Structure 1
Amino acid sequence: MRELTTGPRVLLKRLRELMAEALEPQVRLDRIVNEIAKNMVAEVCSFYVLRTDGVLELYATVGLNPQAVHLAQLRLGQGLVGTIAATARALNLTDAQSHPAFAYLPETGEEAYNSFLGVPVLRAGRTLGVLVVQNRTKRAYRDDEVEALETTAMVLAEIIATGDGTRLARAGIELDLGRSMSFTAGGYNDGVGLGHVVLHEPRIVVNNLFNEDSEAEIKRLEDAIGSLRLSIDDMLSRREVAAEGEHREVLEAYRMFAHDRGWERRLEEAIHNGLTAEAAVEKVQSDTRARMVHLTDPYIRERLSDFDDLANRLLRQLMGRDAKTVAESLVKDAIIVARSMGAAELLDYPRERLRGVVLEDGAATSHVVIVARAMGIPVVGQAKGVVSMAENNDAIIVDGDAGIVHLRPQSDVEAAYAEKVRFRARRQKLYQELRDKPSVTLDGENVALFMNGGLLVDLPQLEASGAVGIGLFRTELQFMIASTFPKAEQQEKLYRSVLEAAGDKPVTFRTLDIGGDKVLPYFRSTGQEENPAMGWRAIRLTLDRPGLFRTQLRALLKASGGRELRMMLPMVTEVAEVKAAREIIDREVNHLSKFDYQLPSKVKLGAMIEVPSLLWQMGELMDAVDFVSVGSNDLFQFLMAVDRGNSLIADRFDQLSPAFLRVLRHIVESSLRHDTPVTLCGEMAGRPLMAMTLIGLGFRSISMSAATIGPVKAMLGALDASKLNKLLQGELDKHNDAHSLRELLLKFAQDNDIPL
């Protein structure tokens, strides 16, 4: 009887020799199936390759009718071979023809064979084909034979994935490796990007598949797993890892997998069968992913992500690779594809080469999305499975408008999107021509168009967009991309750079707005909040941590020496908070004056109207501040009790609803009565239809992302504000049970030739 390890090792040795020979791809395949049949004492060995059209085509066989090669075909899910490809699971049958999935192909002549063993050909969790052995006698193949065939299938996967794959494809037929795929996900930032995939955590390519010394490879594996376990234990023991919470849960999952004896045993078996330690890790990882990727249970899928990360860490240990992202040698049209990534990691990539970001995880409010939005990069999130299906340098299209990703798009799709990009470029050229022209409505109303910012990368857009200033500078972004609290000197340097870049244009700094969905990894509250959006955040947090607030105020005051400083308080719920903040500001001014620092020529304090309680304190609020800004996103969320991050209800309410428009009108009327300037900051301001509505309500100052200033200015030039005001006043004054005024406003724009 054969020794259990002899067969697979002999087979792999022969396959290594075949791969080293200068052979035509088809000849190599024919020789390989012959070697497999001989080694496993099988009367039939067949290799099916998955095409882009979802058809499995017989590419090589020994034992079946040789005329059936390239003629015998099965759809994905059809027959035993199609079932293996669809499920990514092996089938070991003593009587193949009695299996309910059996499909008879007369051209093959396989009716004479009873026992059947088929395994999927996998690479990075993707099924590329199916490898089959058959015998006339009814027998169950042994576990070591199944393992040997799976190991051999891994070698075939490399053949398909490398140069031989493209040479194997026949005229008019493409193999599945280059199949076009589309992912419908979430559009987190508008825009369209065409480019090539850059995997944020590049997949480690294992080139050395065959081992020379199994015991030496086992020792390498044991050392790498030992180092991996120590590194995980070290991370868990660090002070910054809380005793509870998601971060710790992820690391605990890593530790569980790292100590899983079953996982280690499968790795050792693959090495005993002739693979190197790293090839064994890749094989087991690919097998596990292929089996689990079809499961719908979100918890299991999350654990799969943990397992992938752990396996990649082990591969890096074995191959001596640095885990850091390599931003050098980046393609000029890079679209970053990642499971998740931090905001600071995105800033490591050269901005001029970025065309988009695709995330498997993340939310519209995650830090990296906020930074990408500030950089004007299209973002699509929740694109499940895209990382395992993508390879570096694959062509890819990101449609942030529709929330769609096209991986390896077909030529007609690429052409359609290329035209869309050209159209957007032509529109941008039109907007550039409007840059230096005044933003005035058709009936002579001046409207101040400000831009929102938060990072140094935003500053060049101030001049390029034609904005009259920065209406909202989100100071928290500096904190969100840092690994520790930015020191006072760092904050002062940033604020000074912003003011210098703005020149004589005004800048409104919003004081630190953290908490809620803006969590700093190095700053933890005292406990878990059930509803963080309405919890300890923004002005509440900074008033409770006056040391943090004073450090920022001092940096702002020093940076603004000799010029006007405009500060805005976020998430104000009562006027008492404004008065408490002003007292702290006054104390800081007095403190700095004692040490002869140059102080701002004037300090103006404003408040953001984001909480409905302020709507009944408008008089007191206007008396307590120098200006107000409407945070339309949060105000709408709190007023209508709609969580914008909840996909089940995100589209349920419309910001053009009569109820919300009445609230906005009330704010404008209050500002006019008290002679207090009002600006609206938020997504509403950057959408031409909504911006048109705001002007019709009486807003004369709005702040938006730099990219949307051009479209809004183009709209303004065709708008008769007084005419729209009359229409809106009439609609809002009468009994109105409409869900939204959107259709009415669209008709007004259409009737008056207003570009949207």
Structure 2
Amino acid sequence: MRDTAAGPRLLLRRLRELMAEALEPQARLDRIVHHIAQNMVAEVCSLYVLRADGVLELYATEGLNPGSVHLAQLRLGQGLVGTIAASARPLNLSDAQKHPAFAYLPETGEEIYNSFLGVPVLRAGRTLGVLVVQNRTMRQYREDEVEALETTAMVIAEMIATGDLSRLTRPGLELDLSRPVTIKGMSFNEGVGLGHVVLHEPRIVVTNLFNEDSDEELQRLETALGSLRLSIDDMLSRREVAFEGEHREVLEAYRMFANDRGWVRRLEEAVRNGLTAEAAVEKVQSDMRARMMHMTDPYLRERMSDFDDLANRLLRMLMGHGPEALAGQLPRDAIIVARSMGAAELLDYPREKLRGLVLEEGAVTSHVVIVARAMGIPVTGQMKGAVSMSENGDAIIVDGEDGVVHLRPQSDVEAAYAEKVRFRARRQELYRELRDKPSVTRDGVHIDLMMNAGLAVDLPQLAESGAAGIGLFRTELQFMVASTFPRAEAQEKLYRDVLDAARDKPVTFRTIDIGGDKVLPYFKGVGQEENPALGWRAVRLTLDRPGLLRTQMRALLKAAGGRELRVMLPMVTELSEIRQAREIIDKEVRHLSRFAHHLPTSLKLGAMIEVPSLMWQLEEVMGAVDFVSVGSNDLFQFVTATDRGNTQLAGRFDPISVPFLRLLRQIARTGEKTGTSVTLCGELAGRPISALALLGIGYRAISMSAAAIGPVKAMLTELTLGELTALMDETLDAPTSDRDVRAMLHEFASAHDIPL
């Protein structure tokens, strides 16, 4: 009985020898197709490589007219080869000429061949070319022959990816891997960044492709699979994982993949054919990804990311990869490209090297975007395909104004954006000239422009931006970037540094807002929740774990000795929460007084209005606190019932709409009526167009990222507020609520020469 695995093993052994030889790229390719044809008893073996212009060019052949190399061409979707490239699926035909996609290329002399086997050359699910074998006799190629050709294609994919074949490309032409790509998505933070790609979760590059001992590799694979299954079972058995719901379903899907016999069988088969365990995972993952990418069922396509993650976990186990040190390996102009990421993960990167952030998913109000905005880097989101199209080190431009990414840009595009960066620098110089000028409208109304902060690195921006103070200091960021709970002394030091940097300017500290999507890995009390934004978080959590709030308040009270202390409670839902929090704070004040600690000269307690239930108790809330702040990000998501992290809903509803502006106006008017200070801190405050709307409905204090203060101040100093207020009142009091407020504000600004 014939050993069907012997052929592929022999072929891979010969390919390994060829890869080690010092050969020119064309000679290496010619030898490769010769050995494939010989091993598979094929009369023809041909390699087509995809160029940047969407053309598949014949790069090497055994059996066809050698004069057609680098001349024979097919477009994507044209002929059998073009069909394979477009679909990323193999074709195995006993009579190729009867296939409807067959295209005759007279220069190759292939009309005499009947049987045809073609496989895509894949890398990370992306098609780089097509590898073909042909015979005169009509026959169906066996499964082991298909497997052997796919394995060989994987080796060729690495040759293409490493740039070995670029020297064979004719002048003026480029391979697809290096072609310029423009991706249109959404703007999450303004600005322009030019730099080089850093993949947040870089693909593991498998360099050791060929095995020396199949049995040893199968044992390595089995051991890694066992460890993978145990780790998933462990995640599922943890108490913090909900017993039902979406989170558990994802983990159950992982477990299903990890135990899928079909997947494991394909891995084992690739190893028996001569690949190492990690190369087998890479090959099967790439094949699976290419197939799933072309499925029309959205649910199955969503599962692709689960499969990718599982395969990457297995690769890391096989290759012993742990977390990589970021600072040393980053280019000086790093632009992070990620499917999604948490705020703490972004803070792992050194700020001085970051030039931008590109997200395939996410929403404008997700916390990673808020942190990126505080860091002053441009961000684009909803950039579909950005990760798979990028390679570490690729040149990239992030246009945070238009929500566009240019990957491997052409020189004229790069030059145009370099000029745009210079223009923005000149505009920033203009904003700096406004820094020390009062924030007063043309008709004499003073507006407090405050900045949001959360880390020590934000503090220099207080003076640089000309902010009137810190309207929101997110104390939880210190907890999110730490590996354990920050000790009371560390908290106290940070709060004292903040107050020292602010000098006589006011600072509002928001008490720790963890839970929801801000999970601390070292805090075991928070488990998976079905609706984390609506769950055990913020003041709800700190009232249930009063030790957290007591420790933080003690640190704040000590740090503010001899100064005013402003503290704000997040996610307040009812008055009783304010009373409970005040009791804890008063207890800490009494404790420190007993031990003669230097206390603040005054203590002001505020509440964030971000839960809609407060709208029906506004006067009572304002009577129970010294000030309120509107958290427009959460308030908007709760009012419109839209998860701010849901990519399908990002941008669906406009916060500058009549219903939401009516609600915000009601808060401002109630503050005026009760004599309570009202500040709005959120996404709305940081863009001139939405800040214009807020000023028009009565807000006189708004807090934003430091980078946004200049553009907003430039807008308001050209504004006659009385005219805008009359227009906004007329619009919001009208019986219809479907007026396009955004368009109206743009017309108003244009008519009055107000810069937006």
How high is the TM-score relative to the length of structure 1? Answer: 0.92
Query: Which residue does 2:13 correspond to in 1?
Result: 13
CA contact (8 A) 1:200 1:337 kept: yes
Q: What is the identity, as a one-letter code, of the residue corresponding to 2:165?
A: G
Alignment correspondent of 1:391: 391
Query: What is the deviation of 1:598?
Result: 1.9
- Equivalent-residue separation in structure 2 for 1:646 and 1:213 (angstroms): 47
Check whether the contact 1:200–1:325 (CA below 8 A) recurs between aligned residues.
Answer: no
Q: Tell me if the contact between 2:241 and 2:527 (Cα under 8 Å) persists in the aligned partners.
A: no
Tell me by how many angstroms 1:24 deviates: 2.6
Instruction: Give deviations 1:635-676, integer Å, cap 9, x for gaps.
Output: 445556666556666656544444544444444444344333
Q: 1:73 is aligned with what amino acid?
A: Q
- The 5-angstrom pairing of residues 81-92 of structure 1 reads 81-92=81-92
Which residue type is aligned with residue 473 of structure 2?
F
Name the residue aligned to 2:190.
Answer: 190
Q: Report SS of the residue matched to 1:146.
A: helix
1:607 and 2:607 matched: yes
Distance 1:236 1:639, change over 3 A: closer
Q: Which moved more, 1:153-162 or 1:361-370?
A: 361-370
Q: Which residue number in structure 2 is paired with residue 293 of structure 1?
A: 293
Letter matched to residue 469 of structure 1: G
* Counterpart mapping for 1:307-318 below 5 A: 307-318=307-318
Deviation larger for 151-160 or 46-55? 151-160
The match for 1:148 is 148
Q: Which runs of 5 or more residues in structure 2 are unaligned?
A: none
Query: Which residue of 2 is the match for residue 180 of structure 1?
Result: 180
More deviation in 381-390 or 634-643? 634-643
1:640 to 1:159, Cα distance in 2 relative to 1, 3 A: closer
Q: Partner of 1:4 in structure 2? A: 4
Please give the alpha-carbon distance, in whole angstroms, between the structure 2 residues aligned to 1:358 and 1:573.
35
For the Cα contact (< 8 Å) 2:365–2:633, is it kept in 1? no
| Residue 221 of structure 2 is aligned to residue 215 of structure 1 | no
Q: Deviation of residue 358 (structure 1)? A: 2.4
Q: Please say which of residues 744-753 and 468-477 is displaced more in the overlay.
A: 744-753
Cα pair distance change 1:9/1:533, threshold 3 Å: closer
Residue 178 of structure 1, CA deviation:
1.0
Counting only pairs closer than 5 Å after superposition, residues 673-692 of structure 1 correspond to structure 2 as 673-692=673-692
Unaligned runs of 5+ residues in structure 1 are none
Distance in 1, matches of 2:212 and 2:516, equals 56
Aligned letter for 2:499?
Answer: L
**Conserved? CA contact 1:183–1:406, under 8 Å:** yes
Q: CA deviation at 1:729?
A: 4.5
Cα distance, 1:595–1:659 mapped onto 2, change above 3 Å: same
Q: Is the 8 A contact 2:242 2:528 kept in 1?
A: no
Find the residue that maps to 2:397 and give its secondary structure.
strand
Contact in 1 for aligned 2:241/2:528 (Cα 8 Å) = no
Q: Which whole-Å deviations, capped at 9, do the CAs of 1:126-166 have from their partners, x for residues lacking one? A: 21111111111111112222222222222222222224221
Q: Tell me, yes or no, if the aligned pair for 1:366 and 1:518 is still in contact at 8 Å.
A: no
SS at match of 2:29: helix
Structure 1 residues 117, 247: CA separation in 2 closer, same or farther (over 3 Å shift)?
Answer: same
Distance 1:85 1:623 in 2: 68
- Equivalent in the alignment of 2:338: 338
The offset of 1:334, in angstroms, is 0.8
Could you say which residue in structure 2 is the equivalent of 1:430? Answer: 430
Give the secondary-structure state (helix, strand or coil) at the position aligned to 1:144.
helix
Instruction: Tell me the amino acid that sits aligned with residue 63 of structure 1.
Output: G
Amino acid at match of 1:141: Y
Matched, 1:268 2:282: no
- Distance change >3 Å, CA 715–CA 320, structure 1 → 2: same
Q: 1:467, CA displacement in angstroms?
A: 0.7
CA shift digits 1:355-414 (9 cap, x unpaired): 122233444444433322322223333434332332110112223344333322333433
Secondary structure of 2:117's counterpart equals strand
* SS of residue matched to 2:47: strand
Per the alignment, do residues 28 and 542 of structure 1 end up closer, same or farther by CA in structure 2, a change over 3 Å counting? Answer: closer
* Distance 1:159-1:471 versus aligned 2 partners, 3 A rule: same
Q: Distance in 2 between matches of 1:343 and 1:648?
A: 21
Q: Does structure 2 retain, via aligned residues, the 8 Å contact 1:16–1:210?
A: yes
Measured in 1, the distance between the counterparts of 2:135 and 2:445 equals 86
Q: Give the aligned residue type for 2:745.
A: L
Select between 446-455 and 720-729 the one with higher mean Cα deviation: 720-729
Instruction: Describe the superposition over 1:323-349 as per-residue Cα deviations: whole angstroms up to 9, x where unpaired.
Output: 445431210111122333333222221
Match of 2:72 in 1: 72
Distance in 1, matches of 2:719 and 2:647, equals 34
Cα distance in 2 for partners of 1:343, 1:639 equals 24
- 2:326 and 2:645 map into 1 onto residues whose CA distance is 32
**Inter-partner Cα distance in structure 2 for 1:232 and 1:476:** 29
State how far apart, in whole Å, the 1-side matches of 2:385 and 2:718 are. Answer: 45
Amino acid at match of 1:610: E
Deviation at 1:26, TM superposition (A): 2.0
> Which AA in structure 2 matches 1:601?
T
Code of the residue aligned with 1:430 in structure 2: it is: L
Q: Which residue in 2 is equivalent to 1:56? A: 56
Match of 2:280 in 1: 280
Cα 1:590/1:199, change in 2 over 3 Å: same
Paired residues of 1:654 and 1:740 also in contact (CA < 8 A):
no
Distance 1:197 1:249, change over 3 A: same
Secondary structure in structure 2 of the residue aligned to 1:104? coil
Query: Deviations for 1:86-118, whole angstroms, at most 9, x for unmatched residues?
Result: 122211111111112212222222121111111
Deviation at 1:47, TM superposition (A): 1.1
Aligned to 2:36, the other structure's residue is in SS state: helix
> Structure 1 28/356 Cα, relative in aligned 2: closer, same or farther at 3 Å?
same
Going from structure 1 to structure 2, the CA distance change for 1:654 and 1:273 (only over 3 Å counts) comes to: closer
Q: Quick one: distance in 2 between partners of 1:79 and 1:418?
A: 42
Q: CA deviation at 1:434?
A: 1.6
Contact persistence 1:367–1:480 (CA under 8 A): no
* Aligned-residue offset at 1:352: 0.5
In 1, Cα distance between equivalents of 2:166 and 2:266: 32
Residue deviations 1:556-591, cap 9 Å, x none? Answer: 222222211001223334444433432332222112
Question: Are 2:52 and 1:35 equivalent residues in the alignment?
Answer: no
Is 1:138 equivalent to 2:161 in the alignment?
no
Q: Which residue matches 2:561? A: 561
What residue is the counterpart of 1:419 in the other structure?
A: 419
**Following the alignment from structure 2 to structure 1, what is the Cα–Cα distance between the partners of residues 152 and 641?**
58
Give SS of 1:300's match.
Answer: helix
Over the aligned positions, Cα root-mean-square deviation in angstroms equals 2.9
Measured after TM superposition, the shift of residue 483 of structure 1 is: 5.3
Shift of 1:58: 1.4
> Which whole-Å CA distance do the structure 1 matches of 2:702 and 2:695 have between them?
9
Q: Would the aligned equivalents of 2:120 and 2:129 in 1 still touch at CA under 8 Å?
A: yes
Work out whether residues 61 and 69 of structure 1, in 8 Å CA contact, stay in contact via their aligned partners in 2: yes
Give the secondary-structure state (helix, strand or coil) at the position aligned to 2:133.
Answer: strand
Q: 8 Å contact 2:199–2:337 — kept in the other structure? A: yes
- Taking a change above 3 Å as real, the CA distance of residues 408 and 222 of structure 1, as seen in their structure-2 partners, is same
The answer to whether the 8 Å contact 1:565/1:600 transfers is: yes
The residue aligned with 1:126 is 126
Q: How many residues align?
A: 755
Q: 1:455 to 1:120 in 2, by over 3 A?
A: same
1:372 paired with 2:372, answer yes
CA separation in 1, counterparts of 2:281 and 2:653? 49
Aligned equivalents of 1:643 and 1:21: distance in 2? 56
Amino acid at match of 1:749: A
Aligned residue for 1:491, secondary structure, equals helix
Task: Quote the sequence identity (%).
Answer: 74
Distance verdict in 2 for CA 1:523–1:399, change over 3 Å: farther
The alpha carbon displacement at 1:606 in A equals: 1.9
Shift of 1:285: 1.9
Residue pair 2:529, 2:535 contacting (<8 A) in 1 also: no
| 2:451 maps to 1:451 | yes
CA–CA separation in structure 1 for the residues paired with 2:566 and 2:615: 23
Where 1:327 maps in the other structure, the secondary structure is: helix
1:392 partner amino acid:
N
**Aligned residues of 2:115 and 2:134 also touching (Cα < 8 A):** yes
Please name the residue that 1:742 is paired with. 742
